[in-house]
Amino acid sequence: MIKFNKVLKDITSYEAGKPIELVVREYGIDPKDVVKLASNENPIGTSPKVAQVLRDHADKAHLYPDDSMFELKEALSCKYEVKSENIIIGAGSDQVLEFISRAVLDDKSSVLMSAVTFAMYEIYAKQMGAKVLRTLSYEHKYDEFIEAYEMKKPKIVYICTPNNPTGDATSKAEVLRIIRAIGEDAIVVVDGAYMEYASAKDQAYAITPNDIMEFPNVIYLGTFSKAYGLGGMRVGYGIAQEALIAQLSKMRPPFNISSLSLAAAIEASKDTDFVEESIALHTQEIQTL
Ligand SMILES: Cc1ncc(COP(=O)(O)O)c(C=O)c1O
């Protein structure tokens, strides 16, 4: 009998949102009548410019991608005014979360997050045998985070803003207050998967990688899956000081981003009109709530 790693008995697999095709097949309804709310995909669709680039790359599938990801890192360097050595690219920011967990966790460590937040933080921690600690509130409250940090000294502290699935955002001032009170022994992850939407709403909630670059133990995560409309391409990134990125890079498998995904993300980073349209729709919908 196969003896699986004992940590597996404690893990419930991530349940992804049902694809539209499956709902159509199951209920025999028109795909146009299905609105998928799970996974927070971009309702506008794929940028036509990105779609064209994907077609243009169709005959280059025999080539391995550029493992240095030079062009994509250049694009992100320009956007955020950081060096390419400050950037790690993952197959979705999900994969960067995995690199972080594998780099520091073991069965004697713990991670700290808010009461209700992105499911993968817990799954990656449990894969490493680490304990999961949660604050009482789903908001990221300074007192709750610092009390739990002081008591348990977790190796990773997650700040998800705007938070998935609750949608609330934490102000930059509060995030920085939490970061400053946490010792440099823990990695603080500022997960900005939905940051484009928060920034558009109120500048007090806008956090950029530059805001955290002075801290050697903090990493900012971003993704092309949401406002950039590339969920299916799987491209995300982490931005931090060079020494932290160098350690996390040891966890990265070669060619972890396909050439099509790289090309799509490079084009998406140039297509600012598409992102602005996504943000405008989001802002408009929020106002009708
Ligand atoms: C808060 C948060 N972080 C990270 C991710 C991972 O996104 P991706 O792997 O598509 O970049 C998601 C996806 O839904 C998310 O909601």
CATH number, domain containing residue 210: 3.40.640.10
Residue 40 domain-assigned (yes or no)? no
Atom 16, ligand 1: which residue's CA is nearest?
164
Q: How many CB atoms lie within 10 A of CB 116?
A: 17
Average pLDDT over residues 3-23: 89
What is the predicted pLDDT for the residue at 152? 96
Residue 282 domain-assigned (yes or no)? yes
28 CA distance to ligand 1 middle (Å): 30
Residue 221 DSSP SS3: strand
Residue 33 domain-assigned (yes or no)? no
Owning domain of residue 193: 46-287
What is the predicted pLDDT for the residue at 47? 96
pLDDT of 154-212, one tens digit each?
A: 999 999 999 999 999 999 999 999 999 998 999 999 999 999 999 777 899 999 999 99
Residue 60 domain-assigned (yes or no)? yes
What is the predicted pLDDT for the residue at 184? 93
Is the overall model pTM greater than 0.85, yes or no?
A: yes
Residue 272 domain-assigned (yes or no)? yes
Residue 238 domain-assigned (yes or no)? yes
pLDDT of 235-277, one tens digit each?
A: 999 999 999 999 999 999 999 999 999 999 999 999 999 999 9
51 CA distance to ligand 1 middle (Å): 22
What is the predicted pLDDT for the residue at 150? 97
Residue 125 domain-assigned (yes or no)? yes
1 CA distance to ligand 1 middle (Å): 36
- Say if CB 185 and CB 192 are below 8 A apart: no
Share the mean pLDDT of the chain. 95
Q: How far is CA 285 from the centre of its chain?
A: 23
Q: How confident is the model at residue 119 (pLDDT cuts 50, 70, 90)?
A: very high
- Inform me whether the pLDDT recorded for 287 exceeds 90: no
Dihedral sign for Cα atoms in the order 141, 144, 147, 150: negative
- Inform me whether the pLDDT recorded for 100 exceeds 90: yes
Q: Which residues of 222-249 are buried (b: 16+ CB within 10 A; e: fewer)?
A: bbbbbbbbbbebbbbbbbbbeebbebbe
Mutate to test the pocket of ligand 1, among 14, 94, 97, 194 (most ligand atoms within 8 A of CB): 94
Cα(82)–Cα(226) distance, integer angstroms: 22
Counting the structural domains of the chain, the total is 1
Closest CA to 224 of 46, 51, 20: 46
Strand partners for 90: 236
Cα(17)–Cα(96) distance, integer angstroms: 21
Q: Which residues line ligand 1 (CB under 6 A)?
A: 40, 92-94, 118, 160, 164, 191, 193, 223, 225, 231, 236
What is the predicted pLDDT for the residue at 38? 84
Residue 19 domain-assigned (yes or no)? no
Alpha-helical (H) ranges within the chain are 20-27, 48-56, 70-80, 93-104, 119-127, 142-152, 172-181, 195-201, 209-212, 242-249, 259-270, 272-287
Q: How confident is the model at residue 103 (pLDDT cuts 50, 70, 90)?
A: very high
